[in-house]
Amino acid sequence: MTKPPFASLRFAPAAVEVERRDDGVRVLRSPQPLEPYARCLGEHLERWAREAPDRCFLAERTGAAWRRLTYREALAKARSLGAALLARGLSAERPALVLSDNAIDHALLMLGAMHVGVPVAPVSPAYSLMSKDYAKVKAIAALLKPGLVYAADGARFSGVLNDVDFGGAEIVVGANPPAGLKTTAFDDLLHYEAGAEVDKAFAAVGPDTIAKFLFTSGSTGEPKGVINTQRMLCSNQQAITQLWHFLDETPPVILDWLPWNHTFGANHNFNIVLANGGTLFIDEGKPVPGLIEKTVANLREVSPTIYFNVPRGFDALIPFLEKDAALRANFFRELKLIFYAAAALPQNLWEKLENLSIRERGKRTVMVSSWGATETAPMVTSVHYEIEHAGVIGLPAPGTELKLVPNENKLELRVRGPNVTPGYWMRPDLTQAAFDNEGFYCIGDAGRFADPNDPAMGIEFDGRIAEDFKLMSGVWVHVGALRIKALALLAPAAQDIVVAGHDREEVGFLIFANPAGCRSLCPDLPADAPLDAVLADPRVVECVREGLAQLKRENGGSSTHATRALLMAEPPSIDANEITDKGYINQRAVLSRRAALVERLYAEPADPAVIRI
C-alpha cells in the first residue's frame, strides 16, 4: 500500500563526495563548504538579546506554572554570573563543576561561565545520587580541581558534597544548604555588577577557548574529560543550519529532557535553540514510569516544532499518544521534525510514530537521525533528507570528513574536522591513542553504505568495532566488566557468557554451559544423561535465575545486569572464530553465528527455554 507523502520540509540537497584510495579506504566529504561560524556561543546569546530581547529563551516548571526567561534577561544574568566567576579567579585550571539536573539556573551558570572563558563541567546527577562511594565524582574532582561546585538543592546533594574532597572549591547551592557545610547562595552570584572586566573577558574568548568538559567512561569505567572548545560547538551549529534550511522559517520550540552532561542534550539540542533564537522548555520528565507522565503533562501545553528523544523515550511516549487524541493533536500541531539518536530506533517504533502522524495530520512527519560522539560536539553525519526506515545515520556534515577504513568484515568510521576534540584533559596518552596518523579521530564505530551503488543515500550504523554497545535507551553496556561479574554469580552453571542486547531495552546472556558444574547441581541424574536434559533440570535453571537476580540486586542499572539468559549445550567453535586458541570468547562472532538464539532470547511470547527474572 502506498504511504501518504511526507510533510514538506526544506533541507539542503543530499550529496556527498567520495575519495577512493587504493588500500580500500574511502573518505567522504560534503560538497558544501562550511561557512563562517560564530567566534563563541556568547555571540548567539548577544545577538538574540539584541534582535529578540523579549522572546522567551528558557522555561521550566514551577508547580502548575512555567518560570520563563527572555533572551534579554538571560544575557544580563549570564554577565553577572561571569563577573562573579572572574572575581573568584576561575579558569580552565579551576573550572565550574555542576552536579545537578537541567534547570534555568544550571543554564545560566553554563552560559555565564562560557561568556567569560571559564569552562563548565556538568556531571551526571546519577554519580552523586545513585552512587554509594561517589567514585566517579571523586575521580572527576581530582582531575579537574574545580574552583566552584554547584548543586541546585544542597540537601539533595548533601552526601556527595560532604563526602568528596573538592580541594577547597567554593560550594554554591540554589536552595536548602546542607547542615555543617559552608556554602554560597546561587542568588548571591547574580548580584555582581558586570562591567569592563566582563567585556574584556568576553572579547578574549576565541574558537580554541575551552567551553566545557564532558565526561565519558573508558574501557575501565574511569571518566575521561573530553575537551569541548568553542570552535567545536559553533562549527557544529553552523553545519546544522546549512543542512536544516527550515530553521530560518520560525524560531524552534523544543521540549527536552535530555541531560546536559551528555553531548546530545547539551551541545546539539540546547545549542540549536540558542543559535537559532528559539525557546527551550526544560522537561523534568524522563522515559521511566512515574516520570514519563510529567513529559506527557508538558506536551499537553507545549507544541514543539522539533521533538528530540532516544528510542526508549519514544517507546515510553507512544502509548500515551495512541490513546489520547488531545495530546496527539497538540504534539503534532506545530511539529516539523522527529529526531532520534543515541541508539538505533527499532522499526516497530518508527512505524508507530509514522502511523500516529498519518492518523493526526494525514501526512508523514519527517523522521531523521544523526551520528557522532562527545568528542565530535556531537554531529558528524546528518540525515537531512527523507528516509523510509530507521538505521540510516546520514551523510557527512559540511566541514567534516568521514574516513571508512576496512577492519575485518566491517568499515571502521573515523572523523576529522573543526568539530573534533583536541583531546582529553590531562591525558596525553589517551589523546595520542585516539587519533590515527592523518589526524582522524578513531570513534570505534562501524558503518556501511545504505546503497553501495549510491553513496548519496547515506551511511547506516553497523555497530561498534569493540564489544561494548548501547541499549535502546542509549546507555552503554560495558561487556567486559559485566561478563566478569556475571560469571562469578552464575557459577557453577556458566563456563562463559556472551552479552546481547544491542539496540534492545534489556541485556540478555547467551551462556556457554559448564557441563561438569551443571551436573554437580544434579547429582541424582545418571552420569550419561544428555546435556540438554541436564541444562533443563530445574536445579540448573534455578541456579541461573538466582545468579541473574543477585546480579540485579548488586548492579541494578539496565546496563549492568541481564533480565534473561539461554543456556547453550554447543561449545564455542574455534573454526567459526567464536573462541581463540587462548580461550578468549569473540563476542561479536558468537552473536553473529548464533543470531537465531539471540532472537529466541527476546521472543514474545517468551521461549520456554529462556530463563527470565
265 in any annotated domain = no
CA gap 341, 238 in Å, rounded: 19
DSSP letters spanning 123-191: --THHHHT-SS-HHHHHHHHHH--SEEEEEETTTTHHHHHHS--TTPEEEEEE-PPTTS--EEHHHHTT
pLDDT of residue 343: 64
Mean pLDDT of the chain: 94
- Is residue 376 assigned to a domain? no
In a domain, 159, yes or no: no
d(CA 498, CA 457): 34
In a domain, 487, yes or no: yes
Residue-level pLDDT at 466: 75
Whole-angstrom Cα distance, residue 500 to residue 483?
Answer: 11
pLDDT, tens digit (0-9, with 9 covering 90-100), for 259-310: 999 999 999 999 999 999 999 999 999 987 789 999 999 999 999 999 999 8
For residue 272, CA distances in Å to 61, 308, 398 come to 21, 11, 16
Q: Are 174 and 188 in contact (CB under 8 A)?
A: no
Residue 254 has pLDDT above 50, yes or no: yes
- Is residue 513, in this structure, part of any structural domain at all? yes
Q: Give a yes or no: residue 516 inside a domain.
A: yes
* Residue of higher predicted confidence among 130 and 369: 369
SS3 for 559-604 is CCCEEEEEEECCCCCCCCCCECCCCCECHHHHHHHCHHHHHHHCCC
580 has a pLDDT exceeding 70: no
Instruction: Assign residue 574 the CATH number of its domain.
Output: 3.30.300
Single pTM value for the model: 0.81
Q: What is the number of domains present in the chain? A: 1
> Which grid cell is 294?
510529567
Residue 124 falls within a domain, yes or no?
no
In sequence order, the 6+-apart residues with CB closer than 8 A to the CB of 138 are 164, 165
Provide the residue range defining the domain that includes 544: 471-612
189 and 80 Cβ atoms separated by less than 8 Å: yes
Report whether pLDDT(327) > 60. Answer: yes
Selection from 318, 144, 304, 280 nearest residue 223 by Cα: 144
Cα four-point dihedral sign 250, 270, 285, 287: positive
Lowest mean pLDDT among 190-199, 237-246, 386-395: 386-395
Banded pLDDT at 575 (limits 50, 70, 90): low
582 has a pLDDT exceeding 60: no
Burial class (CB in 10 A: 0-12, 13-18, 19+), 316: buried
Distance, CA of 234 to CA of 208 (rounded, Å): 11
State the average pLDDT over residues 600-608.
Answer: 95
What mean pLDDT is predicted for residues 572-601?
79
Q: What is the pLDDT of residue 219?
A: 36
Whole-number pLDDT of residue 389: 87
Q: At what angle do helices 71-87 and 196-204 cross, to 10 degrees?
A: 90
Strand ranges for 162-264 from DSSP E: 170-175, 184-185, 210-217, 223-229, 253-256
The rounded percent of the chain whose pLDDT value lies above 70 is 96
- The partner residues of 370 in beta bridges, in order of sequence, read 382
Query: Within a domain: residue 239?
Result: no
d(CA 389, CA 412): 23
> To the nearest whole percent, how much of the chain has pLDDT over 90?
82
The pLDDT assigned to 3 comes to 93
Residue 221 has pLDDT above 60, yes or no: no
Give the closest residue to 152 by CA, choosing from 102, 188, 197. Answer: 102
pLDDT at 344 over 80: no
Q: How far apart are CA 280 and CA 277, in angstroms?
A: 10
- Phi, psi at 19, each rounded to 5°: -95, 120
pLDDT tens-digit map of 388-425: 988 899 999 999 999 999 987 689 999 999 999 999 99
